[in-house]
Structure 1
Amino acid sequence: MRSQRFWVLEGDEPLVERLAAGLGRSPARVLAYLLLRAEREDDPTTSVHLQVGTRLNRTTISDATTRLEETGLIGRDSLRDSEPGRPQTAWHPHADHETTIERTYDRHGVALVDRALEIHDHERTVRSADDSSLALALNWRPNALHAPFYAALASDWYETFGLDVRIEHHEGSRRALRQVGDGSADVAVAGAATVLRAREAGEPIVPVAPCYQRATTVLYTVRSVFGEPLRSVAQLEGRRIGMPPNSETKLLGRLFLSQTAFSDDVRVLDTDGEERTALVDGAADVVTGSFADPLELERRDMTVDALHVTDHFPIYGPTLVVHERTLAERAGTLERFLAATTGGWADARSDPGPAAERIAAVSDEDEARIERTFERAASAFGGSEAVRERGWGWQRREMWDRLRTALEQGRLLREPA
């Protein structure tokens, strides 16, 4: 019996990770195999090679190759031999590694805009002339959660896609959204709940890509103040909870409490942006904040416990938002921005160092700490089934519908937070 040898793709191949940011896991694995095998072997890559080499099943490979062909990243060949019957099919990549990666991100940028139009009930209009300048309004001072944007700058992804991106920082999601509303910025990063409330109020904005698939908000305390380990929602009954005013974290904190049976028995305190101080001084028993906030207290040798909002209710995290006018008139520029930011996400996941260096240069944060915080955020909040299937920034209508329903039931969709 004649044996045949097959080259097999290793599970931790870096090329898969880079491609997955713009494709999802399975298509990325198939495309990476085609690219790498083309360098190693002279014979065509058939479905048998793909099944053995990628360890994916036939249906998954069929779906992946169909998508890759539709996006123009691979081509199909019919192999004719001396055997009777239907010709065997093989596939080949259309370009080398770097060109394929760039094309992958380019196609993904277009797909993200199309997805936003579909989910939020807009239609693509005839594009006007696009330009290269773009202003990005971030929702807080430079920090680890912004690493993908700084990675895109460090790796010249924005330049690769012909963009001159200016990054501006603002104090909170509302202020970032205001920049988009008045035309001072083209794109903003804002919390998903704040975005929904703004849309409900009639603001002409459209979410185009969640930067993180899960909200990073937590309710946390220190053991010396709380008196016992915080393990369950029920322990919040009768407690004082500090929240910053007019913020996404307060909105999500109130949403979290609205899902409990004892929300009226909790006292919400305005901490005026000084949550950690209020907690350490004993003015509050628990406070809301970003997942990174408790880490500062841990570095001060305090025992910290936290409840993650999205462990109890799935909510998108910081999301990229544009004005309807931008979506209509500058779709091409927006697509290039999303393509380049996809590259930034992939590069930050691979090596957050260059992004951390840039963030540290404009903040008082330590580079190594920024790297660790981003890696933790990306791992805990960056992934989802949608990302595994379609790549970074993919959104689904049901997530927005579920959040809208929860905000309405909690009487938070329209009233001030």
Structure 2
Amino acid sequence: MSRFASIAALAAAALLAPVAASAKEKVNLVLNWVPTADHSPYYYAKQQGWYEAAGIDLVIETGKGSGVSAQRVGAGTSEMGISDLATSLLARGKGAKLVAVMAIYANSPQGFYWLKSNGITGPKDFPGKKIGNPPGDASRVMWPAFAKQVGIDPAAVSFVNVSPQAKMPSLKSKAIDITSDFYNEHDLKVREFGDDLGFLAWRNIGINPYGNSIIVNGDFLAKNRDLVKAFTQVSQKAFAACVKDETPCLKALLENVSGLDEANQRDQWKRIKELMRDPTTTSVALGAFDAERVKKDHEMVKTYFGMEQAFDPSEIYTNDFLDTSIKMSGN
């Protein structure tokens, strides 16, 4: 190659380099809470370079509740996020521009925990008691629906602001009487409190809205459909890989997030797989929504909270970006 040709080739390479670098779109994913096992697939896919290969420079941000993540995504300050679907419906009714593209929890993870030694046998004993959870907690947002379902006055309890990490210590010290928490950490509470632990899953009393879902800002979605499709399918692939073998996924999580106990996270992942599994995710696609269930969730939010801005329930979600060849395992 001549000296001129060599210089020309180097110049061409220099011109192409910035184009390749700019091809990756920076995307902020705001979580619903601090990272735990249910977020391990995102860390695993990022570690494997799957998002990067799809042209996505993913930034994972710790969240402060489904309500906050729904607001952030709806306002466009985060392109994507994780939020409880009922909370997302409520936010959409207030004008938030967001669309759910993948259901992580096909079943509601919400539950209430208490100590039987405090004289609580179930929801009928909740009036007059203190419930401890963070202000943005989805169960606090949806509390009126729960209260009406079990036949108590929504105003009959008082809420105490408690961080996620302080829920169990606060319950143990009796600073609070009841706490809400995801089913993910059920085993940790059983080990801590044994037979004294009282528990009620929302799904067992007929309140089973879709739980955590991947949501996308509506404006971002309209302009970046291919990118959203790529993100959704990479995430599907990651969750399917973690369902098959959680070990490398939890390893990726623990390498990026401090203060987590591996045994606890492994227990969590077993519960998460229960929450991910339903007839739709096992037959249509991992992460798929069922239209009738979304309608019921929409009606529940409309009935208990009202909608400042009416919208068709089909507008809150889409299955269009899912890879239907990827399905949730049946066991």
| TM-score, length of structure 1 as denominator length | 0.61
CA distance in 2, matches of 1:168, 1:394: 24
Please tell me whether residue 193 in structure 1 is matched to residue 86 in structure 2. Answer: yes
- Per the TM alignment, residue 331 of structure 1 is displaced from its structure 2 partner at its CA by 0.2
Which ranges of structure 2 fall in alignment gaps of 5 or more residues? 1-21, 309-331
Please tell me whether residue 134 in structure 1 is matched to residue 24 in structure 2. Answer: no
Counterpart among 279, 291, 300 of residue 183 in structure 2? 291
- Per the TM alignment, residue 235 of structure 1 is displaced from its structure 2 partner at its CA by 4.9
Q: Secondary structure, in 3 states, of the residue corresponding to 1:403?
A: helix
Q: In the alignment, is the contact (CA less than 8 A) between 2:78 and 2:217 conserved in 1?
A: no
Please tell me whether residue 176 in structure 1 is matched to residue 66 in structure 2. Answer: no
Deviations 1:348-398, CA, capped at 9 Å, x for gaps: 10111122122223131122321221122112x101111122111111232
Alignment of 1:79-228 (within 5 A): 131-225=24-118, 227=119
Counterpart position of 2:216: 322
Identity over the aligned pairs, expressed in percent? 22
CA distance in 1, matches of 2:167, 2:151: 25
Q: In the alignment, is the contact (CA less than 8 A) between 1:151 and 1:347 conserved in 2?
A: no
The code of the aligned residue for 1:260 comes to V
Alignment of 1:239-250 (within 5 A): 239-250=129-140
CA distance in 2, matches of 1:249, 1:196: 14
CA root-mean-square deviation: 2.6
Distance 1:375 1:150, change over 3 A: farther
Larger Rg: 1
- Per the TM alignment, residue 300 of structure 1 is displaced from its structure 2 partner at its CA by 2.9
The code of the aligned residue for 2:191 comes to R
Alignment of 1:208-287 (within 5 A): 208-225=101-118, 227=119, 230=121, 233-236=123-126, 239-263=129-153, 266-273=156-163, 274-287=166-179
Deviations 1:25-44, CA, capped at 9 Å, x for gaps: xxxxxxxxxxxxxxxxxxxx
Please tell me whether residue 398 in structure 1 is matched to residue 292 in structure 2. Answer: yes
| TM-score, length of structure 2 as denominator length | 0.76
Question: How many pairs align?
Answer: 282
Counterpart position of 1:32: none
The code of the aligned residue for 1:346 comes to A
Distance 1:364 1:238, change over 3 A: same
Q: In the alignment, is the contact (CA less than 8 A) between 1:219 and 1:288 conserved in 2?
A: yes
Distance 1:360 1:384, change over 3 A: same
- Per the TM alignment, residue 187 of structure 1 is displaced from its structure 2 partner at its CA by 1.0
Distance 1:412 1:297, change over 3 A: farther
CA distance in 1, matches of 2:23, 2:225: 8
Q: Secondary structure, in 3 states, of the residue corresponding to 2:229?
A: helix
CA distance in 2, matches of 1:325, 1:310: 33
Q: In the alignment, is the contact (CA less than 8 A) between 2:31 and 2:82 conserved in 1?
A: yes
- Per the TM alignment, residue 279 of structure 1 is displaced from its structure 2 partner at its CA by 2.3
CA distance in 2, matches of 1:386, 1:355: 24
- Per the TM alignment, residue 252 of structure 1 is displaced from its structure 2 partner at its CA by 3.0
Please tell me whether residue 363 in structure 1 is matched to residue 258 in structure 2. Answer: yes
CA distance in 1, matches of 2:306, 2:133: 15
Counterpart among 263, 268, 272 of residue 373 in structure 1? 268
Q: In the alignment, is the contact (CA less than 8 A) between 1:151 and 1:352 conserved in 2?
A: no
